[in-house]
Chain A
Amino acid sequence: MSEQNKNTVDVLIVGGGPAGLAAAVRLYELGIRDILVVERENEPGGILRQCIHDGFGVTRFGESLSGPEYAARFIRQVREYGIRVMTGAAVTNITPEREVTVVAREGLTVWQAKAVVLAMGCRERTRGALAIPGERPTGVFTAGVAQAYINLYNRMPAREVVILGSGDIGMIMARRLTLEGAHVKAVYEVQPYPSGLPRNIQQCLNDFDIPLYLSHTVTQIHGDRCLEGVTVSQVDERMSPIAGTEEYISCDTLILSVGLIPENELSLDAGVQLDPRTRGAYVDEHLQTSVPGIFAAGNVLRVHDLVDFVSMEAEALADAVHKYLAAGDLPEGKVKLTAGAGVHHTVPQWAEGKEPFTVSLRVVRPMDNVWVCAKQGGHIVGQKKMKKALPAEMIQLKVNPLTGTEDVEVYVQ
């Protein structure tokens, strides 16, 4: 492709879901006009289009909205401002020099962007990732696929249902399937604690008398063409199935809600370094990745539990991109943040530390009455007390400005 055929843009946003839309709106409000959002679906809104339950927006808007309504607030703003959104268009490559290739029905275009925003979200772990033995019948879906069938395409894929994994989407689908006339027999969770939010255990399972079995997993899938049943087993503390605990459960549908993975194939092409713990980019408090001018926010950075935080993170990203465009670069984060005792990961993983910033983290197991602390060279630079800390809930910790370049350890005690 010759230089003449290359389009230019100030900010190219990859993904028109909650993160991409919130970033676009905020960038516009900061005075940036040359923005392009690239969305591979035919409509913007991302996963919110199929999340018809309410509970979105309590933090961001102070009211409880359904997913489509939450998305519509941002889509309306994007349209009002006249921000360009290319739908039905897929980004196929991003270079470290921020050259972005887009494939759409109209053909292929190449864009030179001053800044690139990664907002691709995440995807679901599938049966393949779990390596459940057995046959390969129809009737095994991830929770999000079942949700799309029911809420977008008006197809009811289930009568007798078993759900593996106590992630929020799985529990929400337990309620949806029940209300649509299916019988959800049980939810099985391999870990000794639930992976979704406590309120979903109440309003999606307990309210409908759906039992939740912890330390249990599916160990065999039965059915020649269509699913006929599954074998479930209890697991020990190392999550290995215990012989003799097998139980056969007949069902025509197995729903998997076993985790989400940030979708970072394009980030890798761009040379962005990924954190094996979050499976998202290493970023500093400006949400800039290891490649200058490439930023990331939302579920592509690490899986959030609330869309409200995705929007707010994307808005913080927009503030940083605005500064980057004005100055030509941003100071590099030189202080490393490490996940200490009880902490699974932190975002950001690097910090410049000139101004106060917020670290978000997840704990490795449920804990009661703990202090979440950040310490640099013997000095506490941030701490808060928590009555309960759950892996299902992202914890946010304010950190004071840092001095020097010594590592900051984030830990729970």
Chain B
Amino acid sequence: MIKEFTCVVCPNGCRITAERNSENEEYKITGNACSRGLTYVRQELTGPVRTFATSVGVTGGVLPLASVRVTAPIPLSRVKEAVELIHAQTLTAPVHAGDVLLHDFMGLACDVIVTKTVEACPEEAAR
């Protein structure tokens, strides 16, 4: 059985093949330019994981949104659920790039961090 993959780890996007003749054989993996491709395909074969980004609403900020991302890939099958959990959050300005929004997110050993600094709106603060 031959399975083909496009590695998403870096912009090279290596085309990688995993091949085995029977269920109990190990996959022979070829086409990866580096070891990260090998790790990626092994993970794809057992359960794909991905990183993702979204935004969280900010009250009292100069911008209405702060972008966020996960610090490590999570199972692809749980990405949509993860985005919904993050959307339920709100932040109050000021927020800073690097702030941890959610620690040990969904018990998946990754954090959700803010990736954009949003300063407090001066008019809002004066009120």
B101 lies within 8 A of chain A by Cβ: no
A326 lies within 8 A of chain B by Cβ: no
B112 lies within 8 A of chain A by Cβ: no
Compute how far the CA of A201 lies from the CA of B4 in the bound complex, rounded to whole angstroms.
14
Q: A179 near B8 (CB under 8 angstroms)?
A: no
Contacts of B17 in A (CB 8 A): none
Contacts of A44 in B (CB 8 A): none
Interface 9-mer from A20-28, A148-156, A293-301? A148-156
With beta carbons under 8 angstroms apart, the residue of A54, A64, A151, A198 that contacts B65 is: A151
Contacts of B97 in A (CB 8 A): 68-69, 72
With beta carbons under 8 angstroms apart, the residue of B11, B79, B116 that contacts A55 is: B11
With beta carbons under 8 angstroms apart, the residue of B11, B15, B51, B80 that contacts A388 is: B15
Interface residues contributed by chain A, number (CB under 8 Å): 33
Compute how far the CA of A202 lies from the CA of B10 in the bound complex, rounded to whole angstroms.
12
Chain A binding surface SS class: mixed
Instruction: Name the distance in Å between B33's Cβ and chain A's nearest Cβ.
Output: 9
Q: A66 near B13 (CB under 8 angstroms)?
A: no
- Convert B1-20 into 0s and 1s, putting 1 for each residue whose CB lies closer than 8 angstroms to a CB of A: 00001111111110100000
Q: B11 near A52 (CB under 8 angstroms)?
A: no
Contacts of A64 in B (CB 8 A): 51
Q: B50 near A66 (CB under 8 angstroms)?
A: no
B83 lies within 8 A of chain A by Cβ: yes
**Interface size band for B:** 20 to 34
Instruction: Name the distance in Å between B82's Cβ and chain A's nearest Cβ.
Output: 9
Compute how far the CA of A65 lies from the CA of B97 in the bound complex, rounded to whole angstroms.
11
With beta carbons under 8 angstroms apart, the residue of B8, B57, B83 that contacts A154 is: B57
Q: B11 near A152 (CB under 8 angstroms)?
A: no
Q: A52 near B13 (CB under 8 angstroms)?
A: no
With beta carbons under 8 angstroms apart, the residue of A52, A201, A202 that contacts B69 is: A52
- Convert A47-59 into 0s and 1s, putting 1 for each residue whose CB lies closer than 8 angstroms to a CB of B: 0010011110011
With beta carbons under 8 angstroms apart, the residue of A53, A54, A58 that contacts B11 is: A58
Known pairs A72-B97, A153-B64; A207 contacts B50 (CB<8 A):
yes
Mark out the residues of chain B between 1 and 56 whose CB falls within 8 Å of any chain A CB in the assembled complex.
5-13, 15, 48, 50-55
With beta carbons under 8 angstroms apart, the residue of A58, A153, A180 that contacts B10 is: A58
Compute how far the CA of A152 lies from the CA of B58 in the bound complex, rounded to whole angstroms.
12
By beta carbon, the residue of chain B nearest A56 is B11
Q: A198 near B67 (CB under 8 angstroms)?
A: no
Compute how far the CA of A199 lies from the CA of B44 in the bound complex, rounded to whole angstroms.
14
By beta carbon, the residue of chain A nearest B116 is A68
B63 lies within 8 A of chain A by Cβ: yes
A197 lies within 8 A of chain B by Cβ: yes
Contacts of A66 in B (CB 8 A): 53, 67, 69, 115-116
Contacts of B57 in A (CB 8 A): 154
Compute how far the CA of A154 lies from the CA of B69 in the bound complex, rounded to whole angstroms.
17
By beta carbon, the residue of chain B nearest A69 is B115
Q: B116 near A198 (CB under 8 angstroms)?
A: no
Q: B11 near A202 (CB under 8 angstroms)?
A: no
Q: B7 near A53 (CB under 8 angstroms)?
A: no
A-B contact pairs, 30 of them (CB 8 A): A52-B53, A52-B54, A52-B67, A54-B69, A58-B11, A65-B115, A66-B53, A66-B67, A66-B69, A66-B115, A66-B116, A68-B67, A68-B97, A68-B116, A72-B116, A150-B55, A151-B65, A151-B67, A153-B65, A154-B55, A154-B57, A179-B52, A197-B13, A198-B13, A198-B15, A199-B11, A202-B6, A206-B6, A207-B50, A393-B11
Given A52-B55, A153-B64, 12 additional A-B pairs, CB 8 A: A52-B115, A151-B55, A152-B65, A197-B11, A198-B6, A198-B15, A199-B6, A199-B8, A199-B9, A202-B13, A207-B50, A305-B11
Q: Which 3 A-B pairs have the closest CB atoms?
A: A198-B13, A52-B67, A199-B13
List chain B positions with a Cβ less than 8 A from chain A. 5-13, 15, 48, 50-55, 57, 63-65, 67, 69, 76, 79-80, 83, 97, 115-117
List chain A positions with a Cβ less than 8 A from chain B. 49, 52-55, 58-59, 64-66, 68-69, 72, 150-154, 175, 179-180, 197-199, 201-203, 206-207, 305-306, 388, 393
